[in-house]
A and B are shown apart, each in its own frame.
Chain A
Amino acid sequence: MKTSIAPRQISQRTAFALLIAATAIVVIPVIVIIVQIVVNGAGAISWDFLTQPSSQAGKAGGIFPAILGTFYLMLGTIIVALPLGVMAGIYLSEYSRDNWLTRTVNMAIVNLAGVPSIVYGLFGLGIFVLMFHFGMSLLAASLTLSCQALAMTVTTSREAILAVPREYREGSLAVGATRWQTIWNVVLPQARPGIITGAVLAMSRAVGETAPILVVGAAFFLPGLPQSPLDQFMALPYHLYTVAAHVPGMSKTTIWGVALVLLAVVLSFNILATIIRLRARKRRYST
């Protein structure tokens, strides 16, 4: 009996060692990537780098216009995608019945989430740039990114609203509030942390997204800052793509510096989302 246990224990140990090795293969590169970008890029970061316009095809000067363009894009995306996403989330969790329409909407969301970003780019080019005549502008790019962010804001809002216990709604309805009053005064405040988490993640996506804005026409270099939503724009991820892949003789430190700024913005949004989520969870458990 004992002799048969030993090999089984050995195979268990070997198997667990392999599982741990697989996990290490996932985790270690993440740390290596972050460390490499920080170490190699830190040298480029200076006040001038962050606040000055670029010159000599990005070889000198700073990246301020790209940072500002990305900020505008993020703002434009969230202004459109968040309200629409929350409203669609309310529809799906509070108003819809289990019929073909609801099933179609849910199916549409699943598919929108899986559409490749370059296809959103083609959509934005065809609809916003050409059909609506917005041109290669901040407006067209923001709307394109909004369509892409929609699947995420709808899903997170729906989940956050569905997680509000039914008793809350019943209590509100029982004292005579209408359905909308219940949603506005009771359900939405409870669902807020979840909705905000989704919005922050959607913003972080919008900051890093490159393929759609490449198609709808981000610029690598512009003489001035965008003055209106119909102006062309520069953006951080597109800037990184161009300096990394297309500008010969670019100083390595500068490229790493651009990557560092982009990664820092994106990751700080992700960390912010995690903090909001953890705090909301703690509060829920403590009451």
Chain B
Amino acid sequence: MKQKQRDSNAGAAAVLASGLGRRWRLGEKFIESWIYLAGLLTIVVLLGIIILLVKEGVPIFFDTPPWEFFFGTNWYPVSEPPTFGIMPFFVATLWVTIVATAISVPIGIACAAYLSEVAPDKVRETIKPVIELLAGFPSVVMGFIGLMLLSPLVQSVFNLPTGLSGLTAGIMLAFMSLPIIISVSEDALRAVPDEFRQASYALGATKWETIWHVCIPAALSGITAAVMLGVGRAIGETMTVLMVAGGALAVPVSPAEPMMPMTAAIASGIGNAVRGGLQYQALFAIGLTLFVLTLFVNLVADRVLQRQKRKFQR
């Protein structure tokens, strides 16, 4: 049935091609030129983002030298004269990312190893959609859950003055970066050729020894990429940290304090910033910093991932 339909399509196409001749081909050239443009559009958007962030953000360095901007510990955008030091935000991002990574990496890799190496097909087929659901949760819903369910829990368990802290945000971020860590690690583990496992069994290794000594080392570059993508997620996540990290402006010395990561600083400040004003420029400069950070993380992750793909290709 399908075959027939395909044949008639192609046949009709041939008739059209010979019958309509030049006009048709002109139309085709027109469409094809649009396709080239669409391909280029992705570069245009990326360049547009870079140019805009540089154009709006870099002028702040004429007012606040880069040294003071990156290492200054005071952020007083509305005082006279204003000071723009983003150290508190940078350290906050560092804390929540550390907490998130410390939780999500071991759990994510263990879950991927279970799904790829141990779980029966039926269990795997039930668990994977649940993890996909988690990937689909909007970040504002995760922030809301952090606010309602997790922060009271964190407050009482760790006996903190407030549940809105870097710790709570980090735990929430761990959950949000788990799906990508799991799926990329699982793909890496599945790409390890079966011969590796069989050779290991033939030497008398148990299944667990094979996973630990053969599969995970063989998939290590893919797992590294997975971790980096997870870190990129955690650095760039906005709504969750805006809602549950606490929003304090001091440089946080421990993750249990309320804090304001870079993304939250932009989100909470941009509404009050006057276009072209110093605060506006400073927020775009934070955006530029974030962009460079995530660009670096993603480029490295992609490079590692490509290498992993080539590794087992024959």
Contact = CB atoms under 8 A, between A and B. Distances in A.
Interface stretch (B68-76, B83-91, B106-114, B194-202): B106-114
A23 B127 contact: yes
Contacts of A20: 114, 118
Given A116-B290, A237-B138, A8 B209 contact: yes
Contacts of B136: 204, 208, 266-267, 269-270
A263 B141 contact: yes
Interface range for A = 35 or more
B130 A30 contact: yes
B239 A210 contact: yes
Instruction: Label chain A's interface by main secondary structure.
Output: helix
B100 interface: no
A109 interface: yes
A110 B298 CA distance: 7
A88 B137 contact: no
A276 interface: no
A126 B138 contact: no
A23 B17 contact: no
Nearest to A33: B145
Interface string B196-213: 000000000011110110
Contacts of B284: 122, 126
Contacts of A91: 35-36, 38-39
Given A22-B110, A122-B53, A172-B6, 14 more contacts: A26-B134, A95-B36, A107-B302, A108-B46, A118-B266, A119-B291, A119-B294, A122-B284, A150-B42, A179-B32, A211-B238, A237-B141, A241-B239, A266-B136
Sort A-B residue pairs by CB-CB distance and give the 10 closest, nearest first: A208-B138, A116-B236, A91-B39, A87-B38, A22-B110, A114-B298, A176-B14, A177-B13, A19-B114, A211-B238
6 contacts: A26-B134, A91-B35, A118-B236, A118-B290, A122-B53, A204-B136
Interface of B: 2, 6-7, 9-14, 16-18, 25, 28, 31-32, 34-43, 45-46, 48-49, 52-53, 55-56, 106-108, 110-111, 113-115, 118-119, 127, 129-134, 136-141, 143-145, 147-149, 175, 178, 182, 206-209, 211-212, 229, 232, 235-239, 242-243, 263, 266-267, 270-271, 275, 283-284, 287, 290-291, 294-295, 297-299, 302
